[in-house]
Chain A
């Protein structure tokens, strides 16, 4: 068992080392495994092998012979490719390397996904929820006006009439609701008072339109529904 596992690990060594000492190294492991019986001895053997691997592997690569390959040494000046190794890559080694790379990639993705900077780096800039949250944060900031205001742009994919089955926006405010005014293209399209549920309807032509919602107080737990006839975009 130890020998089989070590036979995989030994593939990590440079070609010249494997070719010269691969068999001898395997035999040494086989001899030790034969002479050192028991769980403790096996654990000690593997500790020795792993420490040895960590120490000797970098050294062997640092002194591995290198074959200088001149670039673009082809016929009539055409670029050509040459193999560095005379043998094709070993399938088992490629499998181990692939698994190791996959694990490393998974670890990196997990680390980034759980990192506190992830939402900042990877948020969807067109996400309405993000627009609402960022505007809410702005409205709460000391430099902002005392009233809450959400503003973003919308791109209508077609002309949307005010009697459309689907409202343009639907806001839900936490009790006791909010009062204010909704504007499209700078024009008031709706006023409201102490409403917990607000549906905005208006005649909108196809194209870009700035939308603003001014509230008498910053809204808590605001949520918006989406509409299939337009897309949100960041304010210009």
Chain B
């Protein structure tokens, strides 16, 4: 079976890892988190979301938890995902790389806005 690629880390996979940093989430919650932290620019569709989750599971960057009950609908059970130690390392490395780029961008006065 051909391996799914994670080098370089695709944008969708990075956003999922970032969403899972700090809390366990199910698919729809991950999608919402990604939408929120990208200011609505990225809305992961089902194909991309679950394809990326499968890739991250195979790479052991995330793991699937035992199905938990949905507080809004007790008849349905959802799959929750958690960041692994390796996943945390990868997302931290990616974020540090972005931070370094940001420092360069600030030095070159390429960024606008008060919060940069």
Interface residues of A (CB under 8 A from B): 6, 10, 13, 17, 20-21, 24-29, 31-32, 48-49, 51-53, 55-57, 59-60, 62-66
What's the minimum C-beta distance from A92 to chain B, rounded to whole angstroms? Answer: 18
CA distance A66 to B1 in the complex (A): 7
Known A62-B2, A65-B1; judge A24-B27 contact (CB<8 A).
yes
CA distance A48 to B53 in the complex (A): 18
What's the minimum C-beta distance from B11 to chain A, rounded to whole angstroms? Answer: 12
Contact across chains for A28 and B28 when beta carbons are under 8 A apart: yes
How many pairs of A and B residues are in contact by the CB < 8 Å rule?
Answer: 66
What's the minimum C-beta distance from A46 to chain B, rounded to whole angstroms? Answer: 11
What's the minimum C-beta distance from A58 to chain B, rounded to whole angstroms? Answer: 10
Contact across chains for B47 and A24 when beta carbons are under 8 A apart: no
What's the minimum C-beta distance from A220 to chain B, rounded to whole angstroms? Answer: 64
Known: A20-B50, A32-B31. 12 other contacts (CB 8 A): A10-B46, A20-B54, A21-B54, A25-B46, A25-B47, A27-B78, A28-B27, A52-B48, A53-B45, A55-B47, A55-B48, A63-B3
Q: Could you say which residues of chain A place their CB within 8 Å of the CB of B78?
A: 24, 27
Residues of B30-49 contacting chain A, CB below 8 A: 31, 43-49
Task: Render B39-83 as a binary contact track against A, CB cut-off 8 A, 1 for contact.
Answer: 000011111111101100000000000000000000010110000
Contact across chains for B28 and A52 when beta carbons are under 8 A apart: no
CA distance A62 to B3 in the complex (A): 10
B: number of interface residues (CB 8 Å): 21
Q: Could you say which residues of chain B place their CB within 8 Å of the CB of A51?
A: 45
Quick one: which of A20, A48, A59, A65 contacts B43, CB cutoff 8 A?
Answer: A48
What's the minimum C-beta distance from B63 to chain A, rounded to whole angstroms? Answer: 15
Is B92 an interface position by the 8 A CB rule? no
Listed A/B pairs (14) with beta-carbon separation below 8 Å:
A24-B46, A24-B79, A27-B78, A28-B27, A28-B28, A28-B46, A32-B28, A48-B45, A52-B46, A55-B47, A55-B48, A56-B45, A57-B47, A62-B2
Closest 8 CB pairs of A and B: A52-B45, A56-B47, A25-B46, A21-B50, A65-B1, A31-B28, A52-B47, A63-B2
Contact across chains for A24 and B1 when beta carbons are under 8 A apart: no
Q: Could you say which residues of chain B place their CB within 8 Å of the CB of A17?
A: 50-51, 54
* A13 (CB) vs chain B CBs: closest residue: B47
* A31 (CB) vs chain B CBs: closest residue: B28
Q: Could you say which residues of chain A place their CB within 8 Å of the CB of B79?
A: 24
Is B103 an interface position by the 8 A CB rule? no
